[in-house]
Amino acid sequence: MELIHHGTTVTRRAWTRYVAAAAAKEDISIVRVPGAFEIPSQARTLAQSGKYDAIVTLGCLIRGETTHYEHISTEVTRGIGQSAQENRRAAHLRRTNL
């Protein structure tokens, strides 16, 4: 894994806020996945590794003219919650509709 100082605006802002809140830069890892649907499985893998005190997930879904958005957002939300329960870690999820 690599520490990424650039990327999307959301990622940059989140990274900046964690550093401002006294997180050490070297203690933050950013892991990218191909799409939102892969977020829960990667979060679960990271949590099970025991290397992290917290797992924060960021993703973006764009609502189109089909129901694809609803299906993916429902499964991602369910998967993150299930992972949090299985690994006894808190999960924070914030949805932003685009």
pLDDT digits (tens, 9 = 90+) for 55-69: 888 887 888 898 888
Residue 32 has a pLDDT of 87
34-98: which CATH topology?
Answer: Rossmann fold (3.40.50)
**Set 5, 6, 68, 92: catalytic member:** 68
Contacts by residues 80-83 (CB-CB < 8 Å, ≥ 24 positions apart):
80/39, 80/40, 80/43, 82/40, 83/40, 83/43, 83/44, 83/47
Q: What would the pLDDT profile of 1-48 be if each residue is shown by its tens digit?
A: 444 444 477 778 888 887 888 778 888 888 888 888 898 999 899 888
Q: For the chain, give every domain's residue range.
A: 1-30, 34-98
For 34, residues 6+ apart whose C-beta sits below 8 A from its C-beta are: none
Question: Residue 26's pLDDT is what?
Answer: 83
Which range, of 41-45, 49-53, 87-91, averages the lowest pLDDT? 87-91
pLDDT of residue 1: 44
**Catalytic site includes residue 71:** no
